[in-house]
Structure 1
Amino acid sequence: MHSTPYVANKPRNTETRDELRARIPGWGADLDPADRPSYPREKLAPFHTGAHWDFPEQQPGAENREHSIEHDIVPPVFGTSVPLKGVSGAIRRHAYASYSEGRAAHWLLLILGDRVDAWESHLRSFASARPDNPVTETGVLAEKSAHGVASRFGVKRSDINHQWLDPLIVGGPWVAAGGVAFAITRKLVRRGR
């Protein structure tokens, strides 16, 4: 069973100073108070954490919340602004339930969930009174009005090397979606004849 980091008095380190110094190069370099710039202002109280609680009060709604598999419980305070939903929510739940935060699969699934969520939002916008407008929302109009092209020359910008990819990455999915919609519409029209 994992220990919880959310207690006022965390367990002490079981390794001695000599063991830590042997295992970690440079460990304990600041043990001598003369080597620390903050000494004598700091107050040394190694057994006093400053916490005024034994365990923080749990925020309501922690049941069925996703959390790292490294911990047994949900952190006492967590965000609730964007609840998981749809296919993207299922992808994120799978990332939390299946993989440790130390695994690349965990983070790659969360990134995939973010991209799927963006497309779910785009699709939902088409059912609303104000659908997404890829021309104005990508900032392509600012290229002319805010000297976009001129700002790329004569300065050492780190993004110059991959700027040719930007239209493909930003506009490519919209062009592909438009092509699919055109092909489906064309097929339906031909069937109707």
Structure 2
Amino acid sequence: MTYTADHPPVPSSEELRARIPGWGADLDPADRPSVPKLQKLETGAHWDFPERQAEKWPRERSIEHEFLTPVFGTSTPPRGLSGAIRKYAYARHSEGKAAHWLLLILADRVDAVEHHLQSFASLHPDNPVTETGVMAEFTHNGLASRTGTKRVDRSHTWIDPILIVGPWLASAVVGARAVRKLAGRARR
């Protein structure tokens, strides 16, 4: 029946069950064919609740949950400004709010900047030419693979050099100006 503006009558559960085979199977567990099987399912587990993983540092956890899941990732502990932003996002905002996720995205960007700065402080800074794949454009037919095809990424190909090389050039210009200014002060 097509829905109309005069709101057709809603059929009862019994009418729907008679008309549609299997309708309402999730209403009463007795009507679900898999319920007995699920109740007697042998998993081989030797526990009712898994043993909890030890926390090496206070973990972020959503305010919706009472406790952490029994097992969680430990690859990147929160540190620096990005860690503080992540902790704030989990402590103050629900996972259902955009602010929570926007703060986590901001923390990821701040983390990237922190790592770039850390690479400059080390003896082995990042190499934007080799690490971004720019050289592959020249050695592996980069331009030819984009012309005459229906690739989706052709629409943003023009902006890729700006997005990839632009921040490095801006950093180099700012660094050169800072060195020039310091050198000028040292001469005085």
Q: Does 1:58 align with 2:44?
A: no
Query: Which residue of the other structure, out of 52, 71, 75, is the alignment partner of 2:69?
Result: 75
Change in Cα spacing, 1:49 to 1:115, as seen in structure 2 (3 Å) is farther
Q: Please identify which structure carries the higher helix content.
A: 2
1:89, CA displacement in angstroms? 0.7
Report the 3-state secondary structure (helix = DSSP H, G, I; strand = E; otherwise coil) of the residue aligned with 1:92: helix
Change in Cα spacing, 1:144 to 1:76, as seen in structure 2 (3 Å) is same
Structure 1 unaligned spans of 5+: 1-17, 33-39
| Farther-moved stretch of structure 1 (57-66 vs 129-138) | 57-66
1:186, CA displacement in angstroms? 1.3
1:46, CA displacement in angstroms? 4.2
1:50, CA displacement in angstroms? 4.9
Query: 1:142-175 CA deviation, whole Å, 9 max, x = no partner?
Result: 0010100000011111111112221222222111
Poorly superposed stretches of 4+, deviation over 4 Å: 48-51
8 A contact 1:62–1:74 mirrored in 2: no
1:93, CA displacement in angstroms? 0.9
Number of matched pairs: 161
Change in Cα spacing, 1:63 to 1:84, as seen in structure 2 (3 Å) is closer
Q: Does 1:134 align with 2:128?
A: yes
> 2:172 corresponds to which residue?
178
Report the 3-state secondary structure (helix = DSSP H, G, I; strand = E; otherwise coil) of the residue aligned with 2:109: helix
> 1:111 corresponds to which residue?
105
> 2:145 corresponds to which residue?
151
TM normalised by structure 2 equals: 0.76
Query: 1:73-127 CA deviation, whole Å, 9 max, x = no partner?
Result: 1111000011111111111111111111111111111111111111111111122
User: Radius of gyration: which is bigger?
Assistant: 2
CA distance in 2, matches of 1:30, 1:62: 47
Change in Cα spacing, 1:119 to 1:63, as seen in structure 2 (3 Å) is closer
8 A contact 1:95–1:110 mirrored in 2: yes
Q: Does 1:124 align with 2:134?
A: no
Percent identical residues: 55
Larger relative contact order (Cα-Cα within 8 Å, sequence gap ≥ 6): 1
> 1:164 corresponds to which residue?
158
> 2:37 corresponds to which residue?
45
CA distance in 2, matches of 1:63, 1:191: 46
Report the 3-state secondary structure (helix = DSSP H, G, I; strand = E; otherwise coil) of the residue aligned with 1:130: coil
CA distance in 2, matches of 1:178, 1:92: 30
Structure 2 unaligned spans of 5+: 1-12, 27-32
> 2:85 corresponds to which residue?
91
TM normalised by structure 1 equals: 0.74
CA distance in 1, matches of 2:114, 2:42: 45
